Structure 1
């Protein structure tokens, strides 16, 4: 078979269970290189608390430039109580914000899929979540997380004031809306746009600009507007009414975590953060599991690597143009779940409890077959 050109993948394991779950992705990448005549060039480096411990910063310039030169960045997890008392600018999570902002990764894709094998693991009734498949598109580089002015300052009466600014521009709203509408065209052709236009001017602008881009470019896609608090309620009442949800940075953070829990386990859900395509159709991207660093189980070999493996599957699809390999990897994940293999977080009666490493090995065995 003809070798494809080398494509750089940067692995950033991070903290807690990050190194354990990234190790399984690395194993799969190496298997693909050997057995699918792919030629990924893997680099691996420190980020988050691990980087701070060695370099005094959550991400070094060297690692940042490696990310700039990579076709895809796969990140494990950052943070943990060990670094809770650091100055805000030094906290592990600042590495994530820097990567998202400086790589211009403006669209965060977070699927919430209820695997048929795990319907009983959800906190909602099976009939509510069975077959659930939602895509949440969260704007990632604007809004209240990045707006200025911001900070904490003393005020005259001896108290302190915390300030964060929620701000959006037309172009920021348009570009993330296009991502949502394009995704909907490949799914069930419906977009729900969420904001707080009833109490926030930025929310009113969001609603108007999403409607305008729909009317101008995507009339064939169904569009509904919903207040973010109502969306939170509807996700619990009737989640299958949604196809693609597009929303701002703050509401996207909250709603996607809520949607994730409908599925029964954060350990199963991937995410992709995408930038704009250049003239050659290439884009910068970062992929990471939705779950955190879980320091309480780090080093025990029991972490669920499926979310990270599915994040790599998203990288194959969106950044590396390998739809076939992405589908094969997704099918392998489904097969091991069909076979009853479960890490501790999702194991129930009648299943076989396996280790982090066992999951990776079982997925590779499925790919081989």
Structure 2
């Protein structure tokens, strides 16, 4: 019997609701595949501001660091919108990523056949397939660069500086190429090398890295072209490698063309196998407490945790197959039901757990 310690950060809005269903799925998989879990719940985001006066208490960081992995819900909401930038709930995410050394964000995007009608893309486009993985650099770039304010000839101004080092680019490129080797052997590197010096260094460094992966095909895209190609022909992409800012934008675009952002998990990885796992969707405070939240992205994030951090492939497969079977059996959550009868958050979690074999 293997034992693992998991830090759980439910967060705000629907975060606690969907995270509880992910925990239930992990417990069920543990029963089936010989694992025991200790789940330690800590606060971050708005919930931490309300209780501790800060979005990321040191205690939360310490518990996360001492765990095998972190399962995160979602943070933020209009309740805290009036706070200064450095005090907002969203800063907890950046702080966790930086404190835990999580520099690589993996966001898979695929269309479940049963949900193809929910995609905004035409059937003839989807018929070519949609199964891609976005590998986003997570702790560098403009989000973590120097920023400030100054007076200019046009008046008061603000600035944010984009910066990347060769080492930062190399380590994220290594993950992208390694992932491509396990998939269809293709990396699409996205930058803005026709304008930005950081992108020119990015493109040069990735090209040099590609020599170590002769079995992987490398293509380069400007970010504006990549965003267009994602909706024109998403089947051409396998692994998309890109920077923090561009990855943030492209991953949300990719999530929308799958039909529902409520279906998409993500993993944030650092050195070794440590990672933080979270659904792509936000805190959705407008539906918190109504039972309408779709927990499948959180449950699939738990499957990624089992796969990438704990190396429990069979258990991860079992959870993913249970989600697929839930959909094949005709069940839908509110975001997928199109006005028809829908399963509540808790009912969805229960039905998926029943299908974990």
- Determine the structure 2 residue equivalent to 1:164: 160
Q: Which runs of 5+ in 2 are unaligned?
A: none
**Matching residue of 1:202:** 198
**Match of 1:179?**
175
1:276 and 2:271 correspond: yes
State the distance in 2 between where 1:245 and 1:32 align. Answer: 31
Among candidates 131, 137, 153, match of residue 135 of structure 2: 137
What CA deviation, in whole Å up to 9, does each residue of 1:39-81 have, x standing for no partner? 1111111110000000000111011011111111010000000
Question: Partner of 1:286: helix, strand, or coil?
Answer: strand
Pair 1:219–1:159, CA change in 2 (3 A): same
In 2, the alpha carbon distance for the partners of 1:37 and 1:284 equals 21
Deviations 1:247-267 (A, max 9, x none): 000000001110111100000
The residue number in structure 2 matching 1:251 is 246
- Mind listing any 5+ residue stretches in structure 1 that lack a counterpart? 278-282
Superposed counterparts of 1:307-318, under 5 Å: 307-318=297-308
Q: How does 1:262-341 map to 2 (within 5 A)?
A: 262-277=257-272, 283-341=273-331
Contact kept in structure 1, 2:77 and 2:283, CA below 8 Å: yes
d(CA) in 2 for partners of 1:261, 1:65: 35
Counterpart check, 1:222 vs 2:217? yes
Aligned equivalents of 1:74, 1:181: Cα separation in 2: 26
- Residues 328-359 of structure 1: CA deviation (Å, up to 9, x unaligned): 1100000000011111101137x651100111
Q: TM-score, normalised by structure 2?
A: 0.97
CA distance in 2 between counterparts of 1:163 and 1:44 reads 37
CA displacement, residues 312-341 of structure 1 (integer Å, 9 cap, x when unaligned): 100000001100000111000000000111
Equivalent residue runs for 1:75-90 within 5 Å:
75-90=72-87
2:232 aligned with 1:232, yes or no?
no
SS at match of 1:92: coil
Q: Which residue of 1 aligns with 2:54?
A: 57
Deviation string for 1:215-251 (max 9, x for gaps)?
1x11221001111110000001111000000000000
Farther off after superposition, 359-368 or 157-166: 157-166
Alignment RMSD (CA, Å) = 1.3
Q: What is the number of residues matched between the two proteins? A: 356
Asked whether the equivalents of residues 11 and 45 of structure 1 are also in contact (C-alpha less than 8 Å), the reply is yes
Give the distance between the partners of 1:181 and 1:269, measured in 2 at CA: 22
Runs of 4+ in 1 over 4 A off after TM superposition: none
Q: Is the 8 A contact 1:271 1:288 kept in 2?
A: yes
Deviation at 1:157, TM superposition (A): 5.8
Aligned to 2:39, what secondary structure does the other structure show?
strand
8 A Cα contact 1:129 1:263, kept in partner = no
User: Which runs of structure 2 are paired with 1:40-119 in the superposition (5 Å)?
Assistant: 40-119=37-116
